[in-house]
Chain A
Amino acid sequence: MDTLITDLKKQIVDQLNLQDIKPEDIGDEQPLFVEGLGLDSIDALELIVLLQQHYKIKLANAEDGPKVFYSVKTMADYIRANQPKTAL
């Protein structure tokens, strides 16, 4: 079980106030915007806040947004690739 993806789904539901949706009902590769979960532009800003708040990642280029936030899986891939390494 990918704990990052599980955690991300819970964080997305909490951050975006999706009270009518259960985290486990969000598909790993389900589109988050337009179709799929149907998120909007304000939700996109909240996801940027989520990356900073929970993973200390700032989106380097705004143009990368659509790719990074396409699905929970693309978000998880971006986090793994960009999360700051904590010193031991």
Chain B
Amino acid sequence: MLQENNYITASCEISNHIIYKNKEAVFENKNASLADFLISAYNHFDLKYPKFYKMDFLSKLGWLASEILLKDSFQHANYKSEEIGIVLANSNSSLDTDLKYFESTKDFASPSLFVYTLPNIVMGEICIKNKFKGENAFFIQETFDANFVQQYVNNLLNNNILQACICGWVDVLHENYEALLFLIEKDEKNNPIPFTGENMV
């Protein structure tokens, strides 16, 4: 019998220069630029991953949110790498980096910007760090369609294509950004939150 009920076992939101883990504020740096905010959060959580400095804003934001989401909330050892996937969405695709790359082509096109001119690269960065090898999907939506993402992820879990999934919204353009990630698992664990569209907004 297919399992119908899946659960939100952790969440992370980054917006307005505040980071929330499971709806509790865990870091704030209100007066910084986006660049400085991301670096200050990276240093605050002592993340020690030098590749972070080379990432574009979208990847920095999504990777940072995933690190906080997973910390103390996820037991990778309970899963095979192929059983863990990521499903994300945003509105601006990789436009923030696309514009910076286009500027660089006026002088010398930057290879290190070019590699970030696709929005799905943020999922690649998360997967590389965590050795996740399950399905990735990235959708472009005008606003976060939580019901769509919930149905898509439920389908992956209920058909045993995945056993755990990070899903949500990661978007940035210039200094405007938002990240909202959820960890979805089949086991209830403590204080289970049913995985529904309503519980993701």
Chain A residues packing against B (C-beta within 8 Å): 16-20, 42-43, 45-46, 49, 52-53
A45 touches B108 (CB 8 A): no
B107 touches A53 (CB 8 A): yes
B108 touches A18 (CB 8 A): no
Binary per-residue interface labels of chain B (173-191) against chain A in the complex, 1 for a CB within 8 Å, 0 otherwise: 0000000000000000000
A19 touches B110 (CB 8 A): no
How distant is A12 from chain B, measured CB to nearest CB, in Å? 13
Given pairs A19-B53, A49-B109, 19 additional interface contacts (CB within 8 A): A16-B54, A16-B112, A17-B54, A17-B112, A18-B53, A20-B50, A20-B53, A42-B54, A42-B111, A42-B112, A42-B115, A45-B111, A45-B112, A46-B110, A46-B112, A49-B108, A49-B110, A49-B111, A53-B107
Give every chain A residue within 8 A of B39 (Cβ-Cβ).
19
How distant is A14 from chain B, measured CB to nearest CB, in Å? 12
How distant is B106 from chain A, measured CB to nearest CB, in Å? 13
7 contacts between A and B (CB under 8 A): A42-B112, A45-B112, A46-B111, A49-B109, A49-B110, A52-B108, A53-B107
Chain B residues packing against A (C-beta within 8 Å): 39, 50, 53-54, 107-112, 115
Give every chain A residue within 8 A of B107 (Cβ-Cβ).
53
Q: Is the interface of A mostly helix, strand, loop or mixed?
A: helix
Query: In the complex, A46 Cα to B109 Cα: how many Å?
Result: 9
Query: In the complex, A6 Cα to B199 Cα: how many Å?
Result: 55
Give every chain B residue within 8 A of A19 (Cβ-Cβ).
39, 53
Give every chain A residue within 8 A of B109 (Cβ-Cβ).
49
Give every chain B residue within 8 A of A46 (Cβ-Cβ).
110-112
How distant is A35 from chain B, measured CB to nearest CB, in Å? 15
Closest to A45 in B: B111
